Amino acid sequence: MNKVNNMYYDNYSNVNDIVNIKNEELLQKDLVNASEGFRRGNIFADLYWPYKKQTYNFVPNNDRQRLLLEIMENSFYAHELNLYLDNYTNDKEKIDLFNKYNDKANKLIDEYNRKYEPIILNDLKEVPWAWEDSPWPWEGV
């Protein structure tokens, strides 16, 4: 540790105290929004190391692609919060955020199912394998 860090931690008696402080600091990190988190692959604002300084910008060409992108963003955000909550089970703020993004992802999936076709197998209500009639991703629709 450098001199500043040593001064910061001088009041703590052992390594476990310092580790607990670092964990508390981690809990207080701000989160980025769903679009930014999905683009970066990480929802924590201060825990991001880009791979070869690359990020990806996803630009939907139509309403169907826009809806799919929103589903992916919100599902990713809920999944990341779920992983976080595996370790910090009593974080009320993050539990509320998880519920918000999970609910939003489910509503978007329902909307996609109504407008286009079932997005997952569990959503099949009518003719099985109906997605055969839908355009495939490489068909550019």
Each domain of the chain, given as residue ranges in start order, spans 1-30, 33-139
Task: Please say if the pLDDT value at position 42 is more than 70.
Answer: yes
Task: Please say if the pLDDT value at position 36 is more than 80.
Answer: yes
The C-alpha angle 97, 75, 137, rounded to 5 degrees, equals 160
HSE at residue 82, side-chain half, CA atoms within 13 A, is: 10
DSSP character string of 73-96? HHHHHHHHHHHHHHH-TT-HHHHH
Q: How far apart, in Å, do the first and last CA atoms of the chain sit?
A: 54
- pLDDT: which is higher, 56 or 127: 56
* pLDDT tens string 66-122: 999 999 999 999 999 999 999 999 999 999 999 999 999 999 999 998 898 888 766
CB distance 80 to 29 below 8 Å: no
- pLDDT: which is higher, 10 or 51: 51
pTM of the predicted model as reported, rounded to 2 decimal places: 0.67
- pLDDT: which is higher, 138 or 40: 40
Lookup: tokens for 112: 């996609």
Residue 130's pLDDT is what? 59
Mean pLDDT confidence for 26-52: 80
Task: Please say if the pLDDT value at position 56 is more than 60.
Answer: yes
Sign of the alpha-carbon dihedral angle for 34, 35, 36, 40:
positive
